[in-house]
Structure formats: structure tokens, C-alpha cells
Amino acid sequence: MRMLVSSWGLLFVVPAVVAAASGCTGGGEGVDAGPDAVDAGEATANDDGPTGDDAWIPDDGDGPLPDGDCSCQSECRSREWACDPTVGLVEPVPVCAASDPCLCLAEELNQACICRLETPSHQPACRTGEIGIRRGRLVADDSPALEHIDSTGVSRHACLFRPGDSSPQRRYPLVVWMHGGGGGSADDLYNATSLRQKADAATGTAFDLGGQGRAGFFLLAVQGRHLHYPTGTPRDGQHHDFYHRDLRSPSTNPDVANLDYWIDRLVGQEAVDPARIYLMGWSNGCFFSQLYAFARHQMATPGGNRVAAVACYSGADPFENVAHDQQPSCKLDPYPTSPVPILLVGRNCDYPACDESQAAGYQNNGFIVEPGHVAGPWVELCRSGVAPGLQRLIIDGTGATTLACLSPERCDHAKAVFNHIRWPDGKASLDSFDVEPAMLAFLRDHPLP
């Protein structure tokens, strides 16, 4: 596997199977450089990407990293997107396939010399790699991945941790974790977060998510699909589709239906507390987890289960247009409403932008801010009635709670990306504070009635 960073997305692992299928080669060795001497609360990154732990680092020693000197370049063919204000994209985002390969790839995939994606999915390792071990995260192995074939014929995968003493008489909450887009993977749960440690009572540091003096919880990391992405910037890669917004049950969105399947399967086969089914997500996973919560907080899955609450990191509005020039617009009109409790966590300098002034600063410097990728207006819209149960937690570059977004003069795009790719568990570069307990406490305090 290969650990990379994205100038638009988050830190992720590129699985060897994906790299091998790309048909590209590259040479050179990865470099684990030390962090620059900067104020941790005002962490910066240069134009070449983050430094320190978030630089290019081998994951599990399966070969040299490419040096970015390959011939890969995004080839973005013209593709028409049909939109409707009642559902967003009229059809689900299409998968990568041999007959329709993804060539308009996210920048981080091209940096890894992955030139094309010709398969709709891949299987995660479901274990901690070298990068996770190096950062002090729990050494865990939940392999092999769970698998099923969805209604479209695509193999779907997820990583599952089960509490060892769960039983019908001893039920535990379920947290479903959604990775970020582009090169994101279910394996990021192990290598870039500390949730696996907090789920396992055997570690001695597990979190009591049930609020009954019994630590631990079921933890499911869902693998996305390889998708042709509809945004204005090249982002083909691994995603959860939040642009085809069929919130019905059952849904025609394969990713909504996939999550319905996993939840119904676990409640039916495992000792999951159906009143405590929670969602967490990062970046694309934060957008999608909010969309799914709107769909399944009041309306049940086909198996009769509902989501209690969401706590996610670095996301914003999941119902906006796909691109600024897309007409007719995919923005929903009217917006759905939901009482679902949501905790939206983001940095005071972030991408999605913390507020409109930051977004304007990025745009003034030549960076595209996609529709809906500004947290402030989404929070205001929710509080006005779209999702009155939404709460916002703003943190700084160290993970400490703060009250306001940084001004554009103190927040450039490089710093925002550096902040975005660091999940706030206190173990990423320059982080000092673990925000996961606050996120889990919010979930614990919001079960279904």
C-alpha cells in the first residue's frame, strides 16, 4: 500500500491492488521528512503539500513509492449530467469500468502514478498498516473484509470490529464510519483515526458509547466505489455518492442502498442496539453521512432500522449543485428537513471553507470552491429549520476548541488542505487534542427515543 496526501482531499492509503491495476509505473523512494518549525496553532503547508507525518510515507513496505514523475495526467472528457431539483443527479454517479474507465482522476491518484481506474471497487485490507503503527495507533487486524454483491452487480466491502462479549442479552451501539473521497479507503479508519482503539474494550481505553458503564461498540468502516465524479475539478476516484439524492426506502442510490444493507445485516446477525446506530465520516464521508441521516433518521431502512445521530469531520452542504456551471442545477429545491442530531466538526481554517470569507480568499487566489463546500452557510441553513439539531464544533490547527474561523489573511488554501487531511484524534502532525471523545459523547447523548 501507499500513503499519500491530496491537495483537495484527505490523507489516504492507495491499495496495491489499485496501483497495480492502473497500468502505470513510477520510481523513487518516499521521504519521511520532519515537520517545519511552525506555530502548531497556525500550521502551514507549502505548495507541494503537507510536511512531517502527512508527507509521502510507505504504508506496509510493499515496494517503493513513485516520485510523482510518471506520465499520468487527468484526461477529462466531456460528460453530460442530467439534474432535477427533486433528486439532484437524475441517475446515480456512474462507476469506473473497463468499457468506461475513469481518467479524470483526483490529483492524489495521478501523483501516485495511477493513470486510470477500470474497476468499480476494491477490497480493503481491514488492518493497521505501518503508517498507523508509526503514529501510535492500535495494531488491529479485522480482516478479511465483509463482502456482498449489490443490486448493480458490484462487489461491496466493509471492515467490521465486533465487541468480544456481545450477545442478544448484551447489545452494543454501532458506529458506521465513512471514508473521504478520491483515494480514501476503509483502511483509513485504522491508519488515520483512533476509533478502532476506542471501540475495543480490551484496550482499556474504550469509550462507553451506550452510557451504561460498558465500554466498546461495533465499528463498521464502509468502502466506497470507484466513480466518475461530477464536480468541476478532476475528482474521479473512490467516493460515496451524495449527488443522486433518492432518500426513499428502498433507494435507487447504490451507496444509500449499500448502507441500508450493512445496517440491516448487522442488526439482524449481530448484537447491535437498534436505538444506537450512529454515523461518522470524513470529507466526502461527512457529506454522505449527513445525506444518509436525513434519509434514515425518520424513514427506516428496508429492514426497519433508523439512524440516531451523526458526528462527522470536515464537510458541509450535501444538497447543493455539482458544479457552478451545471444547468439545470442539481441543488435540491426545496431542501429536505430533519430533526436528526448532527455534530459538524471542522478546523478554523479548512476545506470545505470554514466561512464565506475564507472561500472568497481561496477563489481570489485561483482555487475553485465547489458548491456547498463552505460550512458556515450550511450551519446557518440547518439552524434556520433544515436541521435544527445540528451543532457545530470549530477547532484550531492543534485540535483545540475555538470560537471563530480564521480570517483569509491567516488562512491560505495550503493551510486549509493541511488541516483537512488531519483527522482530529490528537495523533496527526501538530495535533495536540483528541476530539474523538467529544464526537462520541455527542452520539452517546442522542440515541433514538
Q: DSSP secondary-structure letter at 138? A: -
Strand, coil or helix: 305 = coil
Comparing CA positions, the residue from 68, 65, 191, 176 lying closest to residue 124 is 191
Residue 418 falls in which region: left (phi positive, over 0), alpha (psi -120 to 50) or beta: alpha
6: which 3 cell numbers?
491530496
- Find all residues with CB under 8 Å of 317, minimum gap 6, and list them: 287, 371, 372, 373, 374, 377, 378, 381
Average pLDDT over residues 341-352: 98
CB of 250 closer than 8 Å to CB of 260: yes
For the chain, the domains span 2-444
pLDDT per position as a tens digit, 221-276: 999 999 999 998 899 999 999 999 999 999 999 999 999 999 999 999 999 999 99
Residue 431: φ, ψ to 5°:
-80, 145
pLDDT per position as a tens digit, 391-440: 999 999 999 999 999 999 999 999 999 999 999 999 998 999 999 999 99
Comparing CA positions, the residue from 406, 395, 404 lying closest to residue 434 is 395
**CA dihedral angle for residue 271, residue 272, residue 273, residue 277, rounded to 10 degrees:** 180
The residue written with cell numbers 469500468 in the block is 97
Cα–Cα dist 124/102, whole Å: 20
pLDDT at 286 over 50: yes
Q: DSSP secondary-structure letter at 34? A: P
Average pLDDT over residues 160-188: 96
pLDDT per position as a tens digit, 323-343: 999 999 999 999 999 999 999
Comparing CA positions, the residue from 340, 317, 334 lying closest to residue 391 is 340
Distances (CA, A) of 400 to 10, 388, 423: 20, 25, 13
pLDDT per position as a tens digit, 287-334: 999 999 999 999 999 999 999 999 999 999 999 999 999 999 999 999
Comparing CA positions, the residue from 169, 187, 167 lying closest to residue 177 is 187
Average pLDDT over residues 115-134: 95
pLDDT for the residue numbered 69: 55
Cα–Cα dist 344/283, whole Å: 11
β-strands 2-4, 83-84 pairing: unpaired
The CA radius of gyration of the chain, in Å to the nearest whole number, is 20
Q: CATH classification of 2-444 is 3.40.50.1820, yes or no?
A: yes
Single pTM value for the model: 0.88
Tally DSSP H helices, then E strands, for the chain.
11, 16
Average pLDDT over residues 20-44: 31
- CA torsion sign for 212, 215, 218, 221 is positive
Cα–Cα dist 129/293, whole Å: 31
Count of Cβ atoms closer than 10 Å to residue 218 Cβ: 26
Q: Describe the crossing of helices 413-420 and 356-364 by its angle, rounded to 10 degrees.
A: 120
CB of 93 closer than 8 Å to CB of 113: no
| Planar angle of CA 199, 17, 68, nearest 5 degrees | 100
Comparing CA positions, the residue from 118, 180, 120 lying closest to residue 155 is 120
